[in-house]
Amino acid sequence: MRKFLLVCAAASSASLLSGCATTDSLSKADKRFARGEYETAIQLYKADVARGKNAPLSNYRIGESYRLSNRVEQAESFYKAAIDGKVKAPDVVFYYGQALKANGKFDEAAAQFDAYMQNSAGRKLAPLAEIESKNAKMANTIVAMQTNNEVMALDQVNTPAAEFGSTLIPDTKELVFASGREGKKYLGNGENFNDLYAVKFDDADKMTGGTVRKLDPIFNTENKHEASATYTPDGKVMVFARSNDGSKKGLLSVDLWISYFKNGAWSEPVLANINDRTTDDFAPAFAPDGQTLYFTSSRRGGLGGNDLYKATLGPNGRFSPAENLGDQINTPGNDNFPAVAPDNTLYFSSDGQPGLGKLDIFMVDKGKVVNLGAPVNSSGDDFAPYFTGKDIGVFSSNRAGGKGSDDLYMFRKKPLKLVTFIVDGTLVERNDKTGETLPVSSEAVTLFGKNGQKLQEVTTDPNGKFTMKLDSAAASYSLIADRPGYFAARNSVSTIGRKPAQDQLRDPINEIAVPVTLTLTKIVKNKAIVVDNIFYDYDKADIRPDAAVELDKLVSTLNDNPKITIELSSHTDSRGKDAYNQALSQKRAQSAVDYIISKGIDKSRITARGYGETQPVLKNAKTEEDYQRNRRTEFKVTKIAE
């Protein structure tokens, strides 16, 4: 979001240097930093670091220069270097967390915010750090969200410069936007000053074709930023944002300007009466009623950074006093760029709500703020939504893959039919004598994630049934029921590949049951249990890949039942000499045991035993099938620890 909201930064930058040095002792880099000329300051500070001149502080100010020019994602390594160099800057850990979050490193960011909170008593940023930590921990859930929106870059409009903040001129249906594609360079971020442009698309539905033109000179200046125009539905009133010129003497805020269409021409813009001249007021957006103006302001009395406000335009061309939208929408972070859809739904951008990194776009649905998810949102700045129709519009983003700084993107809003996965589980106990199973009630069943983390635990009902809600994202899980005196019952469940296509879903929210059965089997000492499908190559004892799969199941059994000790045995058929069969079976049993030990099982819990042909299942084997049944691998529990 490298745009015109840098004009007050010179004052704030100067405050960052206060107490550190006198004006006369400031370096060239410090003076540029104090004036908000961040791009130049960055290069000077980098030169200082290269010379070894106060590297920790110089690295910190490089990070601050990137942050204050809305490029905090580029500040990460410099904040890290400043911290490693033990810089004396009380909030550096907080800003380092913000840089990590902007780069999608949510877990690392949360750790930095938590560390900051542990030592932030009385600091101004402490409340924001708490929210940032919470949001970072929720970010992975937002990443997993699925929407049915379509996004397309408006490449016939975008350039390597910034393009952002769009609206439509009511009568001509031209798309108006801000761009820094030409003109004088602004030293705050090294890009050009922004002006207002318009394009009338040849194909309005697809937003293609057309020629870009610059708006009238009364709306554009050579050495000031203009952006974020908005019109009343009748096309009679225009409000837009204009900054100062970024010079040392021009320490004015960003303000809202207003112009009226009278007698076939637009009037010279004047300052709107709702400005707070000591702070920034920007991003105006008229509601469909043509009277309510939403805008962003950093004025005093807000909740933290930038807040959303609204005011009513009266028949005399003056606005009512601005009204803060309150803490259900505004946060201690930055809440910016409001927009009102044709159905009067409020949209806005924020970095204070749970999101994907920097600014995300949100909507207010029945009083609740909802993240629009990908592909509208990304790890970059996504902001300034504007609806050109009921389910279509334009937003701005500096995401990866664009043409340059900020770019314009078209979006089409489609309702996404949601899927909820439910485990439809049953826990039973098998009677080994009859083979029958009976439901097990009042028993705990635990759900584990892919990496073994415990996710949920429920208790079976009188019929042995249990249910669990799974994450909507495709994933694999394990279910375990552990009852004293029984082998732990384990089974896997997966939602991968189970989600139907959108056109196959009937309802807005669809519940899909995933059936699974867990079977408890009583542990009986010295009772042989066959390990199926353990095959060896002729005259060999090596563990084949297909046998390894089955032995891995036995490893899981030993892990799930840490109190048991087993004997693993190998048996041959009766063909061949007794001594040969005995030796071969011992080698095969030992090979299997060695494999299991290699998977982390304590060697004291498992013993290898080869029985050769001495314990056939079928004593009078005659067919190859009979011989195969005698050639088997078994295990039996020899000890159960108390």
Q: What is the pLDDT of residues 146-205, one digit of tens each?
A: 677 889 999 989 999 999 999 999 999 999 999 999 877 777 667 788 999 999 999 988
Decide if pLDDT at 15 tops 60.
no
H helices, E strands: number in the chain: 11, 34
- Binned at pLDDT 50, 70 and 90, residue 590 comes out as very high
Would you tell me the crossing angle of helices 9-17 and 55-68 to the nearest 10 degrees?
160
Q: What is the pLDDT of residues 571-582, one digit of tens each?
A: 988 888 989 999
Q: Which residues of 480-509 are buried (b: 16+ CB within 10 A; e: fewer)?
A: bbbeeebbbbbbebebeeebeeeeebeeee
- Binned at pLDDT 50, 70 and 90, residue 501 comes out as confident
Please choose, from the candidates 73, 138, 124, 62, the residue with its C-alpha nearest in 3D space to the C-alpha of residue 99. 73
- Binned at pLDDT 50, 70 and 90, residue 3 comes out as very low
- Binned at pLDDT 50, 70 and 90, residue 10 comes out as very low
Contacts of 456 (CB under 8 A, 6+ apart): 446, 447, 468
What pLDDT score was predicted for residue 519? 95
Four-CA torsion 438, 441, 444, 450, nearest 10 degrees: 40
What pLDDT score was predicted for residue 19? 39
Mean pLDDT (whole number) for 213-224 = 92
Domain 150-412, CATH: 2.120.10.30
85: left (phi over 0), alpha (psi -120 to 50) or beta: alpha
Greater pLDDT, 248 or 265: 265
Distance of alpha carbon 41 from alpha carbon 188, whole angstroms: 9
Mean pLDDT (whole number) for 592-597 = 95
Please choose, from the candidates 409, 402, 403, the residue with its C-alpha nearest in 3D space to the C-alpha of residue 383. 409
Residue corresponding to tokens 């442009």: 197
What pLDDT score was predicted for residue 16? 53
Domain boundaries, the chain: 9-143, 150-412, 418-522, 529-640
- Binned at pLDDT 50, 70 and 90, residue 247 comes out as low
- Binned at pLDDT 50, 70 and 90, residue 232 comes out as very high
Residue corresponding to tokens 């997993």: 144
Q: Do 516 and 493 meet the contact criterion of CB atoms below 8 Å apart?
A: yes
Four-CA torsion 35, 37, 43, 48, nearest 10 degrees: 10
Distance of alpha carbon 560 from alpha carbon 527, whole angstroms: 19
What pLDDT score was predicted for residue 111? 95
What pLDDT score was predicted for residue 245? 64
Distance of alpha carbon 132 from alpha carbon 136, whole angstroms: 6
Mean pLDDT (whole number) for 59-85 = 94
Decide if pLDDT at 121 tops 80.
no
Decide if pLDDT at 599 tops 50.
yes
Decide if pLDDT at 395 tops 80.
yes
Do 418-522 and 529-640 have matching folds?
Answer: no
Mean pLDDT (whole number) for 410-429 = 90
Mean pLDDT (whole number) for 388-413 = 91
Query: Spelled out in words, what is the top-level CATH class assigned to the domain 9-143?
Result: mainly alpha
Mean pLDDT (whole number) for 618-639 = 87
Q: What is the pLDDT of residues 277-323, one digit of tens each?
A: 888 999 999 999 999 999 999 999 898 889 999 999 999 889 999 99
Domain 418-522, CATH: 2.60.130.10
Q: What is the pLDDT of residues 50-63, one digit of tens each?
A: 999 899 999 999 99
Q: What is the pLDDT of residues 257-277, one digit of tens each?
A: 999 999 999 999 999 999 998
- Binned at pLDDT 50, 70 and 90, residue 484 comes out as confident
Prediction pTM value:
0.61
Distance of alpha carbon 575 from alpha carbon 591, whole angstroms: 22
Mean pLDDT (whole number) for 9-25 = 45
What pLDDT score was predicted for residue 540? 79
- Binned at pLDDT 50, 70 and 90, residue 252 comes out as low
Distance of alpha carbon 2 from alpha carbon 202, whole angstroms: 29
The domain made up of 529-640 has a fold known as 60s Ribosomal Protein L30; Chain: A; (3.30.1330)
What pLDDT score was predicted for residue 192? 83
Structure tokens at 66: 């990137």
Distance of alpha carbon 72 from alpha carbon 65, whole angstroms: 9
Q: Do 29 and 21 meet the contact criterion of CB atoms below 8 Å apart?
A: no
Q: Return phi, psi of residue 127, to 5°.
A: -60, -35
What pLDDT score was predicted for residue 620? 87
What pLDDT score was predicted for residue 8? 41
Decide if pLDDT at 2 tops 50.
no
| Average pLDDT across the chain, whole number | 89
Secondary element (H or E) of residue 514: strand 509-522
Structure tokens at 188: 């705050």
